Amino acid sequence: MAIVGAGVAGLAALRVLDRAGINARVIEARDRIGGRISTVRDPRLPYPIELGAEFIHGSAEEVIDVVGDAELVAYDIEGQRWRTKSGRLTRLDDYWTRLHPVMRNLKSVTTDRSFADFLSDKPGGQSASDARKLARTFVEGFHAADVEHISAKALADGGSPSEDPEEQRIMRIADGYDRIPRWLVRNLENRVATASVVEEIAWGPGAASISVRRNGSANLMSVRARAVIVTIPLGVLLASPGETGAIAFSPPLAVIDDARAHLAMGTVTRVVFLFDERWWTDTLAAAPRDASLDRLSFLHGESREFPIWWTLYPAHLPAMTGWTGGPRALRLAGGSHGDIEACAVASLAKNLGVSRRRVASHLQASWTHDWQTDPYSRGAYSYALVGGAGAAKRLARAVQRTIWIAGEAADAEGRNGTVHGAIGSGRRAAESVLRVLSSSPTRARAPLR
């Protein structure tokens, strides 16, 4: 039994199979586990720096369970939301309530359309034009999506956090998100082969032959398996043959063509800034008199490039993260670190109504990771295109009881783009494998080509 990809989906599948006594092996292209969870540590900041997943969104049962089992510390992010509007800083503590008059109308979408199309009907009425602006930025940022293409129906099916206080909850893991994959793989580390890129899976009902390139070697290694769970990101699944990371399935999988027509990989650029001090808590001309940004958690700015920023609040540390999703992030993809840093400095300056020089004078270090050009992610996370509301569920269906596609893009419950969705999807695939194995002989029933 083989699993491709050592992100949380692959590792969650490994655990389920191991518990059932199946000696599965994980094949991972990177030289580390965790995939789109990427935590770095720097001696200058007594706190982990997240370049991939950072938050636990909503009830996120699968992650909360691991937090409990692994005895990790996760805490709620409260603090204050601020917004820049016409160059002035104002409080935005009712963010979710403000979105609600728009987002609740998603439920009435019967024939699917894009979110931009949905907005063009002015949901919420004339008085909600500001809420529509916020909703647009929310969908671009949170779903990493192009509003011209994301399915309004899929957004409605996935539920909007504006409706449910439990789903509005945001938590962070104090020790770093990488503790989750580390816990999932505990005692099974020797089952994971890193620096091993799967290039081809030749398969027939009940058997697969996997071609793997280890450590960039000129020769391919062949691994045989009764069944394969493939957890590579959607962007890699849709890559053209011959591109780094792409897997050639022989014979090809119809579910991948279906996914190509109905799902897309969203784009995100994030940058983490370390400053010499929490300078934004000093007087800011754009803030109301006597107001303090000491408890700032999220800032919803006016800059087009990096509209969303957050601090490490409630930790009082001099760091801020800038975030942009959707087409704006795509424009930054492939840019140099210096260009992205300069763009983010200008954005933060605009959002706080200060000079670029002031931001730059406090800047000590910055980190970013280009998930778009990373060959083993090829984007940040998935979303459904118009007409694609059921596509993730179809992607998750077993192919001739031999190949299972899992990972965040194949979460059948509309929790794509999340760590909990990815864990859930990996577990479901493994449970489905166990059902098949318990009901069929393990011998290959068709010769491999």
Residues within the interface to ligand FAD (CB under 6 A): 4-10, 27-30, 35-37, 52-55, 57, 197-198, 231-233, 236, 245, 247, 268, 270, 371, 376-377, 380-381, 407-408, 417-419, 422
Q: How far is the CB of 160 from ligand FAD (least distance, A)?
A: 16
Q: How far is the CB of 232 from ligand FAD (least distance, A)?
A: 4
Nearer residue to ligand FAD within complex by CB, 38 or 105: 38
Q: How far is the CB of 447 from ligand FAD (least distance, A)?
A: 25
Nearer residue to ligand FAD within complex by CB, 189 or 276: 189
Work out the number of other CB atoms within 10 angstroms of the CB of residue 347.
Answer: 24
Nearer residue to ligand FAD within complex by CB, 105 or 267: 267
Q: How far is the CB of 15 from ligand FAD (least distance, A)?
A: 13
Nearer residue to ligand FAD within complex by CB, 84 or 372: 372
Cα(81)–Cα(98) distance, integer angstroms: 13
Nearer residue to ligand FAD within complex by CB, 96 or 118: 96
Q: How far is the CB of 76 from ligand FAD (least distance, A)?
A: 14
Q: How far is the CB of 124 from ligand FAD (least distance, A)?
A: 27
Token pair 């995100």 in the structure block, residue: 268
Cα(445)–Cα(415) distance, integer angstroms: 35
Query: Are 207 and 82 within 8 A, CB to CB?
Result: no
Nearer residue to ligand FAD within complex by CB, 158 or 233: 233
